[in-house]
Structure 1
Amino acid sequence: MSAAGRTGEEAVAAVLAQVERDHLLEAVRGLVDRPSPTGAERPVAEWLVGHLAAAGVDSHLQVIDDAQANAVGVLPGPADGESVLLYAPLDTYTTGDPDLDIPYAGPRMREDMLPRATVYDDLVVGLAAGNPKGHAACVLVAVEAMARAGIDLPVTVVAGFGAGGMPSFAVDGIGSPGRANTGHGVGASFLLERGFTTDHAVIAKPGWTVSHEEVGLTWVDVDVPGEHSYVGSRHRMPYRNAASGAARVIEVLEAWCDEYAARHEVGTMRPQGAVSSVHGGFERLAASTSALVRVRLDIRMTPEQSAPAVVREVRAALAPLMAELGVPLAVRQVASVPGSRTDRDAPIIRSAVAAWESVAGRPHELVRENSGATDANMIRMRGIPTARVGMPKVAAGPNGQPVDFTLGMNVVDLKEARRLVELLVRTVVGMGGLPR
């Protein structure tokens, strides 16, 4: 039987025969070695378009502005058939620039924080090698293998690689001047808005499971007022230190976040919150107290919640402290992305679960207490049923070192990448056996 006539396991085998370790390594290296901080993903998108075209995939550079762009590849299925988006974002959590990342991402730039791939047997280390670029590499390799295998696809496959997927505002000095909306899923929204809306979608992000729902987020600022004064006059003039008030605010909110998460847990989601930054005062003028200190926090929320309701909860949590301090605390929303959910009986979820069970060799089990937000929310907001699949976090670094948050983002295991490629391929092929 020709490759074009194969279905089911024969089609999967034909595609996987095209997947070699070198393909995965080349894809990971190609992505990691091209810096793509939020707001400046266009160079890596251009590389992806060229790579897809060389493999015979109909490819497109979807330009957002001079610095941001998406990469898209299309494999046609039946003319009267449905379509599936395989999606991964391209931007990195930190920038790879020590002037921008240090000291807040760590005391120094480690090997894994640099946009340069280093190979240790099956482990590849470098900025975003695991998340998101290792996952984007799996989408790339899966689509190119399907193209080379020449099988008859049951659905049209759209490979989408998006800019601005990180929960980030614009980074000073990166991207096009004047652009404020460079993160929070702008690439995914633009992709779907401008010609590539599909019937179903799969997003590749970390987690060896199939997720059908995930939290959204609301960013909240709390303004703590004080008196702008002089340390030398502390004993002679009215004194109210906004910095000490902010410290009290942080203590209250950090304790409240645990109670909030437990109260709003539903399904597979346990929405977390954390104080992320504090701004206030003149660093050049330590003799001065500040008239204002601003505390920012990220509060995750389930599809059952709304951003205004989250803001009201924060205000209520701070009300006793406000009365105690005798000062007004201004609480306002500065960003929000709603949580989302796909019916577990949706065809894309059933196909992804069946694919996962074939690869894992055991029944699928839901992973609970999740609080990670991704572009899946942007895709589901467009009414597209979406499954999230991904690789597990590596157990140890290349030299056996413990895996902290940063290393977990910046290392990928090629063996796990091969499993994710198979999962993606099986999910696409499996859509042919499901009713529309």
Structure 2
Amino acid sequence: MADGECEKVHIVMFPWLAFGHMIPYMELAKLISQKGHRVSFLSTPRNIDRLPKLPPELENLIDYVKFPLPATNDLPEDAEATSDLPYDEVQYLKKAYDRLCDPVARFLESSCPDWILYDFAPFWVGRIAREQGIKTASFSIFIAAFLGFVGPTWAIMGGDYRKTPEDFTVAPSWVPFRTNVAFRYFEIKRIFDVLEANASGVSDFYRFGTGLESADILAVRSSCEVEPEWLKLLEEIHQKPVFPVGQLPPMDYLGEEETGTWQWIKDWLDLQKRGSVVYVAFGSEAKPSQLELTEIALGLEQSGMPFFWVLKTRRGSSDKDKIELPDGFEESVKGRGVVCTSWVPQLRILAHDSVGGFLTHSGWTSVVEALSLERALILLTFLADQGSVAESLRLVMVKEEGRIYREKAKEMKGVFVDAQLQDQYVENLLNYLTANRPKRCT
């Protein structure tokens, strides 16, 4: 093998079956392949077909590898991502996902990669890779503060430290600095089932802890400019190298396909005043309850602000709990607000001059996209009442005392969209992966 080829690595990337995970993995794959390294991106056929198209210059370096999802009696035939299912049925997706263990093992054996970067869900990958002499990196799309808060593996995987929801509402003992990072009671209560075994036979926390424990290194969607103390803490509690990979802002929002959908959206946005529109979207996974939807709708109505709302009324064909807008809502906001229940090009909307703020569920990908385009954020965890929605929108968008939120959004762009800074984080990771690859290059 030529010396130049020997310096390049073959990396497998294996994200969980959620678009909030697959998209950051794909952004990192693009940055890695831009430097000449080869990436095998593993997922299911329908998910890969729904991912954004690759830039032509990267098509020869990123190989999409499709693994058909094993059928189970509990899973609808077309369900391959969390967005295709109601929340309480995602456990069956994990059950089917675990049945990819043998096909993935065979692929790794035949393709002989240097490294595999894997998500929290495939807790079995570390064992497979170790048996085949493949190096492993647990790549978390969660920020370092979250990883630091959930703690060392003994605490994640069923230690006696946390047994009740209340245990998650205070800073843990292993955090040596003052912090407000903790769940509020209603937040942890809503997701407390991640500590319990489900139809797959293991809990999400067990998956998380096992993946961290078996990894050679940890890679985190984070940066030293945003959370240096948390990154340092991760190295201390896990006793292994931790590599921030940057915030992974979208490489090119204009790469989103132009469709007839975008044209009518653009026509409406063009009619609005600069910076006046609130874009409302809660990601591909989240769906408010009927009560929450009603309160959000009333808050938007009372705010008086123009808005464009992307509303997910159901999650997949098996979701029988369809939610509906309050009677008369669309008529009452006609001309000022738009509700869209189909797919939209989010980055193009956020980039439009008429959009000034983003009412979002706080998913980190949405936060990064918004700040990379200097859009002020209004963060909603689905349990705010209508009055606070209306007041928060007015505060962030138009009130003088909310100017700091608008200005801070502009300031943060330098951290989130600094191409040189992002490149350096990826370069640091690749230098380590190259220097510590298995000695197969002959």
Q: Larger helix proportion, structure 1 or 2?
A: 2
Same fold? TM cut 0.5: no
Computing the radius of gyration from Cα coordinates, the structure with the larger value is: 1
Select the structure with the greater relative contact order (CA < 8 A; seq sep ≥ 6). 1
Q: Larger strand proportion, structure 1 or 2?
A: 1
The TM-score with structure 1 as length reference comes to 0.28
